[in-house]
Structure 1
Amino acid sequence: MLRIKKFQAKQKESRSKPVFILALITAVSLLGDSMLYIVLPIHWREAGLISLVEVGVLLSANRFIRLPLNPLISWLYSRMSLRVGLFVSLLIAGGTTLLYGWAQGFVFWFILRCVWGLAWSILRLGAYYMILDLSTNENRGHLMGTFNGLSRIGSLAGMLGGGFFIEWFGIRDVTFVFGLMSFLILPLILQIPSAVHIGGPEGTKVTASSLLKTPLLMRMLVTVFFFMLCLEGMITATLSHLIEVRNVSIRLDAVIIGAAALASIIQGSRLIVSVFLSPWIGKKSDGRWGRRPYLITALLLGAVFITLVEFQIPVYLWLSNLLAILLISSILVVLMDAFTSDIAEEKSKAATIMLYVIIADVGAAFGPVLGYLSEQSLGLSATYGISAAVLFLLSVQWVFSREKSSDQAQSTQNTTT
């Protein structure tokens, strides 16, 4: 019995170690990208841009370029090793981050953002395929949560670097350090499995068009699209604007913390808490109840917290409610990643994950644009009210769904054992 336990522990460690390493690689790759979300809206003139509209286009360009690239990269992964893909993505990420310090003019910036979108597609799809290949229904949520939580450290460090270090050392020094770090961690790729199996369970070929006829997958694709559109797109993009419109500020002695600083604090708090929350919720969803109850609950809570935004409550509770919305968003990302991976295990891994990533990118790309268009035409109250209603309807559709999935089968198996 002791030998069996030791063997199981070693097997678990061998599966989780590559996930930790890939999360570190992803975190370093995100440094430069996350930094721009703080730097460009403030220093856009120094970057050779002529308006904030160009800033918005540049921050969305990497998302739009991924839409046609994802199918190509998925196809390439069926013909190249995971290590090759990661090596290429790190080289591109490091190179683009270095060039951020010297970029001038919209065209130069646009090219760099599109090239970064290529690197991120290679890295993200590789991460999905590796975790899916290493995991089972009993630990997939935990591994997905661990990867999502740890990789967000890079976003936090990038935002802090953009907010503080650039003011002290300048953008060229900071981007040089961030880009150099991508090159320095290249040897870690040797700790990643070289090959991953991304076909069907028995090597069967499944096309994207045939997968669209799968009710459970279609339900998940609808969910991730509207989640990325409303919660990760419209709500997150308008967060600082919402705080400013509500005229919310906090006075600490003689210092007044305004809307931009409060939004940064809330976003940073989300990233820190998600490092611990994401693995925990992922592990819970691996348990006897499966992922569906947690998904339904998170969608309902998201609708409730978004609705509370319009209530006149004490400022600290109101700001805590905004943080709760962002944490719900982190929870939903983990649950949907794991749930979709369960479906992919039964179907074609490559085609399923490719569809999921494409739909998520479409929602993420159009979310901020629609958020501000809705704010101008309908107002923030209506925008947030529509988002809350959408999340509520999504939870209802999952309550009344009856499709059989590996998630349900896992729940039944854990109940009987």
Structure 2
Amino acid sequence: MHDTTELRAGLADLAEPVTPTEGYEGQIMRRVGRLRRRRRITAGAAAAVCLAVLVTMFRVAGFGSTPQLAASPPDGPFLGWSPVGDLDVGLVREATSVWDRVNSAGPHTAVRALVATHDPGLGSAVVVLEGYDKHGDARLAFFTGGPGGAEALRMRVDRPAPDPVKTQVISLVSPRLTGTTGGASNDSGGSYAIAVAMPGVTAVRVSSTAVDSEMIQNPDEPTSRLVVTEFPTAAATAQTTTIAGFIKPKRPFASLTKVFEVPGEGGVDGDARGVSAEVISRTDQQMMVAYPKDQGVRPGQLAVVASGLVGRVTAVDAARGQATVELITSSGFTGQVHTDISNVPGFVRGTGGKLVMENIPAGGEVSETNRVMMPDPSQHSNQVGAVTIGRVSADKAAGATTVELTPTADLTHLTRLSIMTPSPG
């Protein structure tokens, strides 16, 4: 055996060439630190990606705070929506027959129903159909019935089918949805609204600035995406009505989430028509608007937005498709008005910056926040389609004949409005 002392000396000689140089340990530690930092960054990025995927999944599934509404695939040029309510085959057949009989573009083909149900509010039935006319154009039609049942169904409007990709709700607002075609309703209310939302919507709200009233469906009802409602005034029109859709989150006790809010639609026979116009310039007293040519815009017609009256057309350049609108607060604006519901008469006058109601009868009670309405000269009466011009700022004092009004329309930030023109018929 070799001497242990010699063996140790030999091993020491062999180990000497691999002895770390000065600072080697520091280099190793720095490298380890860099690797750890990279691993932390990679792990953080992976966690962020996982979190984003989970958030997206929750949103699509409707569990998050802002659930998304998945669009239904279009059925060619038509809305690919499932029907709402009792799909009464007899009503669909009768409505199709009426559609063919009263419309020269019939017979209609590939007819499918979005609504075909009995509703006591409108007498007996509400039907909404899609189909091709004889020219191959995709159309949408609303029908309502009277007390006589399905035989009394009347077509209220026939319009081009809406965009099947972008449309979230279809609606019809009019004071002419009961009784004879083109005639204003004679019942205690007068105006009705029909609104049908896309599948996935669990509640629909209909509100009008013509009256302090709104209707929202119970989200737990099987027909909650259909609203048929009556307004307690004939003044409600499409231009002053708003339709909103909501989703009921799946989380317990969570509130409804609004997924859209759009203007109402109208245009049955006899209704005044709103011509869309864009504001191109303005002053404190008036604004200039541009509108599509040949739309029947004339001086004296009212300019409105959903919240109320903006002003009155005073001049028209038909060749250029432009009109001058005098604002309701301008010093030259005057007109006959009445309070909503209580129907207290008076006149309004702009003061150059404010709005006052004058010539109120001595016994007329006018209270703070009362709506004051101006008749629409494009309608057939002072009540039908009247537009809110303002709210009373304070209670009328005893013996006074004047109150100040607060305009309901925002006259400063408008970019678009509607000019009310008479029905083409």
For the superposition of Structure 1 and Structure 2, which TM-score range results when normalised by the shorter chain?
under 0.3
Query: Higher helix share goes to which structure?
Result: 1
Q: TM-score, normalised by structure 2?
A: 0.23
Q: TM-score, normalised by structure 1?
A: 0.23
Query: Bigger relative contact order, structure 1 or 2, given CA contacts below 8 A and separation 6+?
Result: 1
Query: Higher strand share goes to which structure?
Result: 2
**Which has the greater radius of gyration?**
2
